[in-house]
């Protein structure tokens, strides 16, 4: 009886979703989760949880989504094992959501578990374990555990190079993460070398967004060392490259504003006052536009430092059926 009621609630929630009534869909999916728990069917519980979570994510209700994701990871671990595709996918989604909420202390043991499970299933030096280490290092950096982050990034880089080659694009994630840790550990030359390698590996295969984001970090490195002429030259290069990119490939307005402010500062630092004034004016207009008309896509765009997942839940959901995990 309870199982039939739960499935009926899921169908009704899906109808509300397809009618663009997210509030109504959330209410029905929440009832479906409660009813599924009463029925005691793990498969039905995770089915209801998946529907509820994806509506919560669309509504950017990240705090409420955390316990749903925890139940999803636990439920899929029971159904297919903790190292299975579905459990790994939803664990990754939980890690990413905790990162969005700056709850890295909670994410760190999950990252550690992801490394152990990937290593047990695929091998210690596997691509899957290396991806998990990139994400673990990302989490450790946010906890200011720089030495540990550097060690984990080095291991991930060594495994990715052994499996794919030193010039493989995928090494860029480990290289940029390692560069960030090295800079905080007082090794700017080594950090610069990592960033240049990462940029070359991504640029070589046309990964323009990641290559651009890496150049941005290189500018920050030059700024930290007061190497203003090199920072300005790199910033000019980024601006030239951006002219050939479509609007869909450009960073969000928040990142564009940061870039304008930074470019103006660099121009002023090398004595090009008139050009600096022009960029400051452009930044002022963009800042006013952002404040008067905020948009969901005003984020900073691609982050080459991570996290990096081998599998994750369906990135977008049209409501056509039950969400499933997919391999990246």
Nearest C-alpha neighbor of 130 from the set 178, 93, 91: 178
d(CA 152, CA 140): 9
pTM here is: 0.86
> In the chain, what are the domain boundaries?
1-81, 253-296
Separation of first and last alpha carbons in the chain? 38
- Tell which CATH architecture fits domain 1-81: Alpha Horseshoe (1.25)
Gyration radius (Cα) of the chain, Å: 22
Contact 95, 135 (CB under 8 A): yes
- Are the CB atoms for 10 and 43 separated by under 8 Å? no
How high is the pLDDT of residue 324?
35
- The answer to whether 190 touches 180, Cβ cutoff 8 Å, is no
The CA–CA distances, whole Å, from 198 to 171, 203, 208, 238, 300 equal: 7, 8, 12, 15, 19
Spatial contact of 75 and 45, defined as CB atoms under 8 Å apart: yes
Question: What pLDDT shows up at residue 217?
Answer: 94
Contacts for 75 with CB less than 8 Å, ≥ 6 apart: 42, 45, 46, 49
> 230-254 burial by CB neighbour count: b if 16+ within 10 A, else e?
bbbebbeebeeeeeeeeeeeebbbb
For each of the chain's 328 residues, which pLDDT tens digit applies? Answer: 788 888 888 889 888 888 889 999 999 999 999 999 988 889 999 999 999 998 999 999 999 999 999 999 999 999 999 988 899 999 999 999 999 999 999 999 999 999 999 999 999 999 999 999 999 999 999 999 999 999 999 999 999 999 999 999 999 999 999 999 999 999 999 999 999 999 999 999 989 889 999 999 999 999 999 999 999 999 999 999 888 665 555 678 888 899 999 999 999 999 999 999 999 999 999 999 888 887 655 555 567 777 887 766 644 333 333 333 333 3
CA torsion, ordered 48, 91, 98, 45, to nearest 10 deg:
20
Q: pLDDT at position 250, please? A: 66
Whole-number pLDDT of residue 325: 36
């Amino acid at each position: 009886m309870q199982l039939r009621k739960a499935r009926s609630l899921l169908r009704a929630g899906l109808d509300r979703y397809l009618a663009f009534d997210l509030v109504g869909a959330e209410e029905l999916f929440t009832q479906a989760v409660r009813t599924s728990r009463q029925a005691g069917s793990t498969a039905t519980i995770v089915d209801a949880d998946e529907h509820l979570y994806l509506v919560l994510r669309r509504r950017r209700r990240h705090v409420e989504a955390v316990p749903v994701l925890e139940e999803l990871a636990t439920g899929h671990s029971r159904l297919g094992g903790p190292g299975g595709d579905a459990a790994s996918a939803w664990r990754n989604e939980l890690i990413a959501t905790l990162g969005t909420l700056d709850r890295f202390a909670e994410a760190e043991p999950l990252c550690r578990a992801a490394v152990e499970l990937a290593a047990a299933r695929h091998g210690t030096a596997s691509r899957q374990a290396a991806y998990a280490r990139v994400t673990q290092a990302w989490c450790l950096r946010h906890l200011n555990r720089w030495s540990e982050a550097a060690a984990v990034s080095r291991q991930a880089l060594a495994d990715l190079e052994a499996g794919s080659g030193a010039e493989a694009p995928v090494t860029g994630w480990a290289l940029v993460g390692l560069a960030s840790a090295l800079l905080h550990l007082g090794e700017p030359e080594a950090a610069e070398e990592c960033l240049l390698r990462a940029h070359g590996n991504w640029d070589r295969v046309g990964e323009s967004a990641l290559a651009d984001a890496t150049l941005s970090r290189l500018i920050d490195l030059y700024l930290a060392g007061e190497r203003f002429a090199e920072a300005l030259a790199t910033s000019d290069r980024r601006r030239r490259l951006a002219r050939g990119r479509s609007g869909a490939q450009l960073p969000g307005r928040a990142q564009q504003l940061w870039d304008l402010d930074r470019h103006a500062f660099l121009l002023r630092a090398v004595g090009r006052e008139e050009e600096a004034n022009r960029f400051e004016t452009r930044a002022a207009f963009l800042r006013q536009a952002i404040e008067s008309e905020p948009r969901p896509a005003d984020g900073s765009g691609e982050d080459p430092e991570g996290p990096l997942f081998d599998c994750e839940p369906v990135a977008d959901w049209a409501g056509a059926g039950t969400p499933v995990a997919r391999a990246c």
